[in-house]
Amino acid sequence: MKGFASLAALCALANPAFAHTIFQELYVNGVDQGHLTGIRVPDYDGPITDVTSNDVICNGGINPYHQPISQAIINVPAGSPVTAEFHHTLAGADPSDSADPVDPSHKGPVMAYLAKVNNATDMTVTGLQWFKIWEDGMDSSQVWGVDRMIANKGKVTFSIPNCIEAGQYLLRVEMIALHGASSYPGAQLYMECAQLQITGGGSTKPATVSFPGAYSGTDPGIKINIYQKLPSYTIPGQSRSADPTSRSTNGSSSGPSVFSCNGPSAPAPSTSAPSPPSIPVTPVSTPVSTPTGAAGTVAHYGQCGGLT
Ligand SMILES: *[C@@H]1O[C@H](CO)[C@@H](O)[C@H](O)[C@H]1NC(C)=O
Ligand SMILES: *[C@@H]1O[C@H](CO)[C@@H](O)[C@H](O)[C@H]1NC(C)=O
Ligand SMILES: [Cu+2]
């Protein structure tokens, strides 16, 4: 183990392009669910570069899964914040490793998708329908989602939508490194899938995309030279409107949620104009423990029938 770690460190020094990463731990409402628990992790931390390969679904193809594959299914109340944690190797956090959680040469977006499944431990993942619930791209200072993930010691936090149906899901958390992406194949895709049981929720069925299929080698977010001043970056996959055909939207791409329970892909509310935050929302028998603050939160609960 020690020898392996030193070798990995040497490789990282010699060629940062070989210093990769693995999503390997999940926290629900801040509670650690256990190292490698409920996540299909490969032993090797290398990327997938062929966006048409089935390996882009949940990895595990050219990077075979660590055995035994965890049979745990992580319980997540809909609406909960979850934190995905990446590290350079399956050994986990290593403050002495300058390439942990990933080598800083690796610039690009971080994203999270969900797919509803009958059985979260079923290893067949082809044909699933995915919806993006979170993305962190590039801000106007050309600071990337991966830069923020590194600054946060490998952790990214987002919420499970509170209006989606209860049931078992795969949570696909993905980081794309663009340091070699000026030609295709070149972008490095790193993804793993966590096995979830989502409880509560509602009845909203988000618009979905397929993997492979959601990305193409000519996408502006996949084939891109990042060694220049970029006015914007188009994150691949579903756009904010959850409409795969309208992904050419410009502007800041570091916002929180792509599929939003009160967004365009949710059932149309009876009132068309969004209420300004300062106007009190009509009470909709929300639980006493409903978080306060964001007006959008109230709208989520109202729209989802208060089942959370
Ligand atoms: C879920 O899939 C796993 C792996 O194929 C299998 O062992 C298990 O029996 C399945 N569970 C149910 C409830 O079908
Ligand atoms: C995106 O913004 C850039 C620079 O501001 C501009 O050149 C480009 O035309 C915009 N693209 C779209 C689709 O609006
Ligand atoms: Cu790498």
Q: Which-ligand-closest: CA of 20?
A: 3
Distance 207 CA to ligand 3 centre (A): 31
Please identify every residue whose CB atom is under 5 Å from ligand 3, which is an ion.
Answer: 20
Which CATH code fits 21-227?
2.70.50.70
Q: Which-ligand-closest: CA of 11?
A: 3
The H or E element that residue 52 is part of is: none
The residue whose C-alpha atom lies closest to atom 12 belonging to ligand 2 is 250
Question: Best of 228, 250, 252, 253 to mutate for ligand 2, by most ligand atoms within 8 A of CB?
Answer: 250
- 40 Cβ contact list (under 8 Å, min separation 6): 58, 59, 60, 65, 69, 70, 192, 193, 194, 195
* CB distance 229 to ligand 2 below 6 Å: no
The residue whose C-alpha atom lies closest to atom 7 belonging to ligand 2 is 231
Please, are residues 216 and 224 in contact by the beta-carbon 8 Å criterion? Answer: no
Distance 250 CA to ligand 2 centre (A): 6
The residue whose C-alpha atom lies closest to atom 11 belonging to ligand 2 is 250
Residues of the chain with pLDDT under 70: 1-18, 240-257, 263-308
Q: Which-ligand-closest: CA of 175?
A: 3
Report domain extents, the chain: 21-227
Q: Which-ligand-closest: CA of 246?
A: 2
How do residues 201-242 score in pLDDT, each as one tens digit?
999 999 999 999 999 999 999 999 999 999 999 999 987 544
Cα-Cα-Cα-Cα dihedral sign, residues 202, 83, 112, 272: positive
What is the structure's pLDDT at 240? 56
d(C-alpha 57, C-alpha 37), whole Å: 19
Residue 214 token pair? 């959601």
* CB distance 232 to ligand 2 below 6 Å: yes
d(C-alpha 280, C-alpha 21), whole Å: 45
* CB distance 250 to ligand 2 below 6 Å: yes
What is the structure's pLDDT at 76? 98
How do residues 66-87 score in pLDDT, each as one tens digit?
999 999 999 999 999 999 999 9
Please, are residues 149 and 107 in contact by the beta-carbon 8 Å criterion? Answer: no
What is the structure's pLDDT at 297? 29
Distance 187 CA to ligand 3 centre (A): 10
Distance 124 CA to ligand 2 centre (A): 40
* pTM, to two decimals: 0.77
d(C-alpha 19, C-alpha 98), whole Å: 10
What is the structure's pLDDT at 264? 53
Pocket lining for ligand 1, CB < 6 angstroms: 119, 121-122
